[in-house]
Amino acid sequence: MGVSERLTVSFADADAQIQGVAIAGVGTLLKLGEQLTAAAPPLFAPDDGSWRVSSPEGFELSLASWGHGTALSEGGTFVCPCGATGIVGSSHFDGLAMLSRAPADSEPGFALERSLAILFDPQLTFALSAGRRQGADGHGEEQLAAVAFRGEPLEPVAIEKPRLSSTYDAESQLTHAGLELWESEESEFALRIGGEALAHGELRDPDGALTRVSFIAWHHDGRHGLGSYAIRSTP
């Protein structure tokens, strides 16, 4: 891993009821069935065109790209859907992952950043990012970018007009998320995705930034998948 990058992987195996989010230099959160546990920051290592990602006593996965990754915005986070196999906790893992690589100094001035990984199956995944600058008033002033990955191998399709809505409970914990994705101005209908939060955790950056992670059950057009919704706020 280069020092100029911030690497994150979100992964899920629906059959094993395992979900995880791991951020290099920050930490790891794992949902093992109904149990939420923390682990050490992951180590990322290139492995003959793939990646090996591991956290001591947490997990060890091999990531194999399923298609072509893409940048969510010009000069911004690069995302790539992957197949993931290995061990998480003491369980075998054979599932899906979204690898993201962001420049460490990307988008200075963002006080709050959201990142979503939506993992349905090897033929359909989504990624979304949103950034809000210091002093902005709510969602209306966020900069959103999203991409759909479709086909076999997966090919990226940029979303021209993404919309994200989020619902929180009295303790400010995320409960639901909804996406409307208009692929182009000519699109007759928006693609709609809904999600319900299953568990919550937090990871703290060395610089004090806080990342709140929600593990999500996603649904769209008869499909059901897993993934994550992370909110990173700076001090």
List, in order, residues 6 or more apart from 229 with CB less than 8 Å away.
114, 115, 116, 166, 174, 177, 195, 197, 213, 214, 216
R_g over Cα of the chain: 16
* Rounded to 5°, angle at Cα 218 from 215 and 223: 145
Q: Extract the tokens encoding 58.
A: 């947490």
| β-strands 110-121, 124-133 pairing | antiparallel
175, 196 contact by CB (below 8 A): yes
Q: Tens digits of per-residue pLDDT, 48-100?
A: 778 999 999 899 999 998 878 999 987 789 999 999 999 999 999 999 999 99
List, in order, residues 6 or more apart from 193 with CB less than 8 Å away.
118, 126, 178, 179, 181, 218, 219, 220
Tell me if residue 139 falls in helix, strand or coil.
Answer: helix
Q: What is the DSSP string of 3-59?
A: TTEEEEEEEEETTTTEEEEEETTTEEEEEETTEEEEEPPPEEEEETTEEEEEETTTE
Determine the residue type at 183: E
- pLDDT value, residue 235: 79
**Euclidean distance between the first and final Cα of the chain, in Å?**
25
- pLDDT at position 110 over 70: yes
- pLDDT value, residue 75: 75
Nearest to 144 by CA among 168, 124, 111, 115: 115
Interatomic CA distance for residues 137 and 31, integer angstroms: 33
Report the mean per-residue pLDDT for the chain. 91
Peptide bond into 41 cis (omega under 30): no
Determine the residue type at 45: A
- pLDDT at position 103 over 60: yes
Using pLDDT thresholds of 50, 70 and 90, give the confidence band for residue 133.
Answer: confident
- pLDDT at position 136 over 70: no
